[in-house]
Chain A
């Protein structure tokens, strides 16, 4: 199981919809395994690529609803509205604190964490997000 992080200039890319580069990271060891490049793929092709690469969690900046829904439908957990240096975010992920306000984009109370199903699979990050209400599906 892997996580994917959108990257641009060493920071989390501002918008998942048009992000070109992702780091594929092993979930437990938090070791960067490879990078994934997006070019002109459609939304469903992007999701298929992520699934094929064993990605079960995405960490990204802004994301539009349709993209988020498509990822959730593919059972990919989405941690969005995250901002910061990729290294810092990976470290925060490792410590299980990536959902804290200091890692969020401006205007958000904290990064948004969404996944389908009740169990969740992250590091105790579920249920709180950009807004101060329950956003778990």
Chain B
């Protein structure tokens, strides 16, 4: 009776956990298979029980590096061995596997237990972090495509670059993308917001200081130029620095040398410099607040990122990228946007550009109570803007609106069908290969749904 109770408790626990668990006998045939194992592998327990575990699990570890075989041999548990399994559609799913022996009351080995954790979300999070760090710019807009087409051209050069664009357009993301495509990509990418620091602080931040240079300087501190050695130094808001700093910066750019505060010795700098500003430098030069020689020195190659209002074709692409990201980061399952939300997105002028769109979507995902973002979830200023009568820009956007609707339609069908492309294609009345093509065109990533 007590044994029976114990068994029921164990079964209940196994059924309720999110890790996949199966047990095998000593001939590696499956004897139990929990609910999470069914969900992760896509195989029902009645199909799995009695079969060799390798034919159910289909992992890269089965043939050459099996944790259970190792446990049987050594008697020791294997903890968190990372690998992948291949699902029924040929997709690799990253998993972390642990194994242990099963013994009867007398201590005889009667089999083994393997638990496995689906690492897809963790992998996706890693990718998202990597994307934030390195920048992965995609676009549907012709204007933006022109800018991005310059990346492989300018990246290998060591010439100073100037990135222009309104606040929030993604100047730093573009700078990181250039760094990642450059010859010094193995080196560091160091970003400094020149507008955020007063002169004295900026100087010590950029050039560093020697011990005793000023009160409190009790040890040498390398500046950003030194830290960026062998890499890229990104100087944001360059239009906001004082004239004194402009002179110092001009010298570094011309002579590739600088002196840390309190040092008499010049240091060499080989960092590639990328400057950026949201201000009209030419106008500042005319006004006399920005040195003409520095302007010419940094304006060797200039890339201008168009504001979001001039590339509204990118709104669906960016919106869905952000939706996927914040769904994962907030553990939410919002599947898409209502058509009315897109109408507001197109009507709004986005003074804060891509950053504002990202913030709006993050907020909407956090607040959303349903599986769709509605106007009620949007920030007030976006929700309240009146979709105007068609302007020439909006007429050009009809195609984009159609794409967005089509995308939304396909995404819903995929989610309804548990992300099974064949089933979704059947429901939509198109061939599976056509659906794959459409998904590629519309940048639908099954992993991020």
A20-B63 in contact (CB<8A): yes
Q: In the docked arrangement, what's the CA distance between A105 and B55, Å?
A: 6
Q: In the docked arrangement, what's the CA distance between A80 and B60, Å?
A: 16
- Of B40-48, B279-287, B337-345, B351-359, which stretch is located at the interface? B40-48
A15-B43 in contact (CB<8A): no
Q: In the docked arrangement, what's the CA distance between A125 and B91, Å?
A: 23
A62-B91 in contact (CB<8A): no
B64-A20 in contact (CB<8A): yes
Query: Which chain A residues border B62 with CB–CB below 8 Å?
Result: 14-15, 18
Q: In the docked arrangement, what's the CA distance between A52 and B29, Å?
A: 37
Nearest A-chain residue to B46, judged by Cβ: A106
Known A13-B63, A61-B55, A62-B58; judge A107-B88 contact (CB<8 A).
yes
A18-B88 in contact (CB<8A): no
Q: In the docked arrangement, what's the CA distance between A136 and B382, Å?
A: 48
Closest approach, in angstroms, between the C-beta of A93 and any C-beta of chain B? 18
Is the CB of A3 closer than 8 A to any CB of chain B?
A: no
Is the CB of B54 closer than 8 A to any CB of chain A?
A: yes
Q: In the docked arrangement, what's the CA distance between A112 and B336, Å?
A: 34
Q: In the docked arrangement, what's the CA distance between A130 and B56, Å?
A: 14
B422-A131 in contact (CB<8A): yes
Q: In the docked arrangement, what's the CA distance between A106 and B88, Å?
A: 9
Is the CB of B86 closer than 8 A to any CB of chain A?
A: yes
Closest approach, in angstroms, between the C-beta of A15 and any C-beta of chain B? 5
Is the CB of B51 closer than 8 A to any CB of chain A?
A: yes
Query: Which chain B residues border A134 with CB–CB below 8 Å?
Result: 431-432
A8-B55 in contact (CB<8A): no
Is the CB of A74 closer than 8 A to any CB of chain B?
A: no
Closest approach, in angstroms, between the C-beta of A84 and any C-beta of chain B? 9
Known A62-B86, A63-B90; judge A106-B63 contact (CB<8 A).
no
Is the CB of A65 closer than 8 A to any CB of chain B?
A: yes
A106-B91 in contact (CB<8A): no
Q: In the docked arrangement, what's the CA distance between A14 and B56, Å?
A: 8
Q: In the docked arrangement, what's the CA distance between A61 and B51, Å?
A: 14
Total interface residues in chain A, CB < 8 Å: 28
A15-B60 in contact (CB<8A): yes
Is the CB of A77 closer than 8 A to any CB of chain B?
A: no
B86-A15 in contact (CB<8A): yes
Is the CB of A86 closer than 8 A to any CB of chain B?
A: no
Q: In the docked arrangement, what's the CA distance between A65 and B57, Å?
A: 17
Closest approach, in angstroms, between the C-beta of B360 and any C-beta of chain A? 36
- Which of A13, A80, A106, A131 is B43 in contact with, Cβ under 8 Å? A106
Q: In the docked arrangement, what's the CA distance between A62 and B56, Å?
A: 9
Convert A96-137 into 0s and 1s, putting 1 for each residue whose CB lies closer than 8 angstroms to a CB of B.
Answer: 000000000111100000000000000000000011011101
A81-B63 in contact (CB<8A): no
Closest approach, in angstroms, between the C-beta of A22 and any C-beta of chain B? 12
Pairs A-B, 8 closest by C-beta atoms: A62-B58, A107-B43, A65-B90, A14-B54, A106-B47, A62-B86, A133-B422, A14-B62
Q: Can you show 15 pairs from A to B with CB atoms below 8 A apart? A: A13-B63, A17-B86, A18-B62, A61-B55, A62-B58, A62-B90, A65-B89, A65-B91, A68-B90, A106-B51, A106-B56, A107-B42, A107-B47, A108-B88, A134-B432
Known: A20-B64, A62-B58, A83-B51. 15 other contacts (CB 8 A): A14-B52, A14-B55, A18-B64, A63-B90, A68-B90, A80-B90, A105-B56, A106-B56, A107-B88, A130-B88, A130-B89, A131-B89, A133-B432, A134-B432, A135-B432
